[in-house]
Amino acid sequence: MTGDWRTDRIGAALRGENPTVLRRLTSGFAVIGDVQFLPGYSVLLVDEPDVQRLSDLPRAKRLSFLSDMEQLGEAVERACRRLDAAFRRVNLEILGNTDPFLHAHVWPRFDWEPADVVGRPVWFHPRERWSDEQFRLGPRHDALREAISSELDHLRSPARECRFASVPPE
């Protein structure tokens, strides 16, 4: 590996060099966030580095990306609910204002968050939380990583997919 994987997150994931990858999904990679001030924060990275926005994808891949985002959101929700009784909900966001590649944020939200931000977008958390060393992804997050990965595996299991495949369309 040459250089820092953070400068090419998608390329590093494609090469198997991105240490934040939880699972390969249909349209991209489920990764755990570099910062964990909201434990369980994850991101879905598209698997095509040149894709900048959802509308750049053909419709089938676009729907696949949205389905993967939903699955990652549900996996984070299930894992966080199991690990923290103060879990509230998951927020899903596709922003694209900073990083020039398609990605979706999956933010778990908790009742223990400060009162002035708990009901607001995550971006209202104090800026220093994003760079505070105590919230940096590390070995102490291994159980959280495993919980989210396990939930992704469960949600993508053939038995679960078969169960829903038999539901007639509306």
In a domain, 37, yes or no: yes
What pLDDT, in 10s, does the model give residues 103-146? 999 999 999 999 999 999 999 999 999 999 999 999 999 999 99
In a domain, 107, yes or no: yes
> Beta strands 42-46 and 28-32: pairing type?
antiparallel
Which pLDDT does position 97 carry in this prediction?
Answer: 84
Q: Domain of residue 69: give its range.
A: 5-165
Which pLDDT does position 158 carry in this prediction?
Answer: 72
CATH code of 33's domain = 3.30.428.10
What's the rounded Cα separation, in Å, for the pair 93 and 2?
A: 31
Which pLDDT does position 6 carry in this prediction?
Answer: 87
Which pLDDT does position 157 carry in this prediction?
Answer: 80
In a domain, 126, yes or no: yes
- Asked if the model's pLDDT at residue 28 lies above 80, the reply is yes
Q: What's the domain count of the chain?
A: 1
In a domain, 148, yes or no: yes
Which residue did the predictor score with more confidence, 157 or 32? 32
In a domain, 157, yes or no: yes
Residue 121 makes CB contacts below 8 A (sequence gap 6+) with 91
In a domain, 170, yes or no: no
In a domain, 132, yes or no: yes
What pLDDT, in 10s, does the model give residues 46-70? 999 999 999 999 999 999 999 999 9
C-alpha triplet 142, 31, 138: angle, nearest 5°? 35
- Asked if the model's pLDDT at residue 18 lies above 60, the reply is yes
Cα 41 to chain centroid, rounded: 6
Question: 127: which 2 tokens?
Answer: 């800026």
Would you say 141 and 32 are in contact if contact means Cβ atoms under 8 Å apart? yes
